[in-house]
Amino acid sequence: MSFHVPTLFAVIIAVSAVLAVAIGFIGRQRHRNLLLWATALGVQALGYVLYGLRGQVPDWASVVVANVCMSGALAVYALGIRRFHDQRWPVWWAWAPVAVIGLSFPFLLDNFTARLLLGSSVYGLQLLFVAAVARQQRHAPRGRGEQLLVFGALLMAIMMAARTWTVATGQFTVQQLFQGGTLQSLTFLFTLTGTLLLALGLIIMNEDRAEHALRQNQRYQAFRNRILELLAQGTPLPTLLHEIVQGIETLHPRMLCSILLLDRQGQHLQTGAAPSLPAFYNDAVQGLPIGPGAGSCGTAAHTRQRVVVEDIASHPYWAPYRELAAQAGLGACWSQPIFSSDQRVLGTFAIYHHRPHTPSPADIALIEEAALLAGIAIERSREAQQLLERERHYRLLIETANEGIAVIQNGVLRFANPRFFQLCGHTPAEVLNQPLAPLIHEDDRDRVIRASAPADGQAAPQHHTFRVLTRHQGERWFELNDAPFEWLGQPATLSFMTDITERRRLEAKIQQQALHDTLTELPNRRLLTHNLAQAMASHRRSGLHGALMFLDLDNFKPLNDTHGHRVGDLLLVEVAHRLTHSVRETDTVARFGGDEFVVLLGDLHTDPQTSVELARAVAGKLLAALAEPYCLAVEQASGGVHAVEHRCTACIGVVMFDGQATEPDDLLKQADMAMYRAKAAGRNTVWLAPTAPTA
C-alpha cells in the first residue's frame, strides 16, 4: 500500500492548522487549558510546512527547525496535560528531547538514515511520555477524553517504534522524505489519525471537566440546603459539625476535614469534628494552644487569616508536629478561621491532603463556604446554650439577673427586676401596678391575653412569644415563660422575659435560605413542590383548575459566555422580577435551576376550556414581558458602571391540572416535557400539553 506522500503532507498541515485555530477559539471562549494544545497543533503544522519546503529553503530550516518543531509540539502536549491535571513532575522532562533533537540534527544534515533513526526513537519516547502523563490522574476516573488521548499517542508511538526497528534492521531504505512506500505512507496516515484523536481527546477531556464541575456544584448546593434544613430543625451542634465535615469529604473524597473549636478563654483549640483523621492525631491536637507557628490551625486562629500549607514536611509552621503529621500520613493542610456574626473567632475549618497539594480557586471558595456554615451552626448552638444557662442563673439571682423577671396578677404588673425595665425601656413608676397589656404589640395582645387566662380556674405554665414597642429600641420580640405563683397570698404568675429579636431574625434568615433561591430570592424547588401539592389538594375540594408553566430562557448562554456569569446573574434577577410582576400575588414563581423557572397558577376556573384560555393569556403576557430588551448595569472594577443590553426570549411548557390524584413531581415532568416541545417548535413559544394529568 502506497500513497502520494506530498498529498498526505498537505492533508496533515491542513488538519493541524484547522484544529489549532478551532481549539484555540474554543479555549479562548471557554476553556483556557486548551490554548497550550492549540499552540502544539500550530507548531506541528509549522513543522510539516518546513518539511514540505525541503529543497526550497535551507536545510537547517527544513531539517533542524522542522524536527525541533515536531519535538516541541509533543513537549507542549505534555506540559498542557501537566497543567490540566495539576501534576508536579519537572518541566525539563518535557524539553529534554527537544534539546536532543536541536543539538544532534545540525550534525546529521547529510545522513538521512541517522536522522530517521534518531527522530523516530525520540518522537516515540515523547509519545509514550504523553500517554503516561495522561494516565497519571490518580484520584478521578479516567474519562473518554483521556482514553482517546492515550490511544492516539500510543498509536503514533507504535508507528514510530516500527519505523525505528525497520531502519535499524535495514528493512527501511528510503533516502528521501517524499519517497513513497508502505511504511512511509503508514507513518503519515498514523500521524494524521493520531493528531485527530489527540485533538478530539483534548476537547472531550475539557468538556468532561466542565460537566464534572457542574455536577459537583449541584451536589454542593444539595449539601448546603441539607445543612440549612438541619439548622432550621434545631439539630445539636456535634451532629451538625459531623454532617458538615462528612458532607465535604463525600463531595471531595481526596480531602480529610476537621473542625476545631476555640475554648471560651480563646487560647486553646478543641476537636469539634474530625471523623476521618486518626484517633491518635485528634488526641494530640486536643487543647492545642493557638499562636504563630502552631501548625496551620493554631496560626489561623491566632492571625484570623487563612493559612495554606502546601507541604507539611518543609513548612516551618509544622516543625514541632512534623513527625505526628507523617505518622498520620498528612502532606498538606489548609486552615480557615471560623467567625461569628460579630467577627469573633469561634474555631477553624481545616482541609488535609495525604500528599503536598496546592489549593485551586474552587478549593478556596469551598473552605470559605464550609467555615461560614460551621460558624452559623456554632453560633446558634452557643446562643441556645447561653440562654439555658441564663435561665438557671435567673432563678437564683433575681435582682442581678440578665433576664426580665416579673410577677403578674390579674393582668397587672406587681413586681419586676431591673432587667425587665431595661428591656421594656420604661421606668418602674410608669409601669408598676399598671396593666401589662398596653406594652404588648396590638397584633399580639389578644392572643397573649387569651393564652394567659387560666383554664377551668386552674393556672398552668405558659410560653408566649410577642412583640413589644419599647421606648428606646423600637419593636422587639420577647419570649415570656410563665409559671403559677403566689404573690402576697393571692394567685399570680411568675414570668421570665427574654429578648429573642436576634434569634428570630436568624431563624427567619435560615428558613428563607432553606426555601428560597439565594440569587433571585424566589421559592426554590422544595417550596414549589409544597405549594403545588397544596394547590392540587385545594382544587380537589373546589373543582377549580390550575396551570403549571415550565419556562426556559432562549439566548441566555451567549450572554454568560460573552460577559461572564456576573452579568448572567443580573439578567436572572431581572427575569425573576418580570415574572413576579406579571402574575397574581397568590400565584407562585419559582426558580427551578440555571435559567429555568416555574410559574404555578391556581384557582383559574371550574370550566376546563375557560381555564385553558386564562392560562394561555398569562403565558402570552409572560412571553411579552420576557421579550422586552434587558439593560443590565454592570459595575466596573474601576468604579464606573457599564450598561449591557441583551435580548432574551423564553419557551413555555404548560400543563393543566384539576387536583386529580397524581404526584407533584409527575406534573413537573409533564410541564418540563411540554417546554421541550416548545423549544422544538422554535423560540418565544408556548406549548400546551394536550391533556391534563389523570390518576
CB count within 10 Å of CB 463 equals 9
The active-site residue out of 482, 554, 595, 658 is 595
Q: What Cα–Cα distance (Å) separates residue 412 from each residue in 287, 408, 432, 444, 449?
A: 52, 5, 8, 17, 12
How far is it, in rounded angstroms, from Cα 104 to Cα 56?
22
How far is it, in rounded angstroms, from Cα 279 to Cα 524?
40
Is 595 considered catalytic here?
yes
Contact status, residue 147 vs residue 205, Cβ threshold 8 Å = no
Three-class DSSP category at 532: helix
Q: Is the sign of the CA dihedral 442, 511, 622, 611 positive or negative? A: negative
Pairing of strands 650-657, 686-688: parallel
Which grid coordinates belong to 54?
Answer: 525541503
Burial pattern 304-336, b for ≥16 Cβ within 10 A else e, equals eebbbbeebeebebbeebeebbeebebbbbbbb
Burial pattern 82-112, b for ≥16 Cβ within 10 A else e, equals bebbeeeeeeeebbebbebbbebbeebeeeb
Query: Of 632, 663, 658, 661, which Cα lies nearest the Cα of 645?
Result: 632
* 218 sits in which H/E element: helix 182-232
DSSP string, 422-480: HHHT--HHHHTTSBSGGGB-HHHHHHHHHHHSPBTTB---EEEEEEEEETTTEEEEEEE
Cell numbers 476537636 correspond to 271
Question: What is the DSSP secondary structure assignment for residue 516, as one 8-state letter?
Answer: B
Contact status, residue 83 vs residue 94, Cβ threshold 8 Å = no
Contacts of 83 (CB under 8 A, 6+ apart): 33, 36
Q: Which residues are identified as catalytic? A: 595
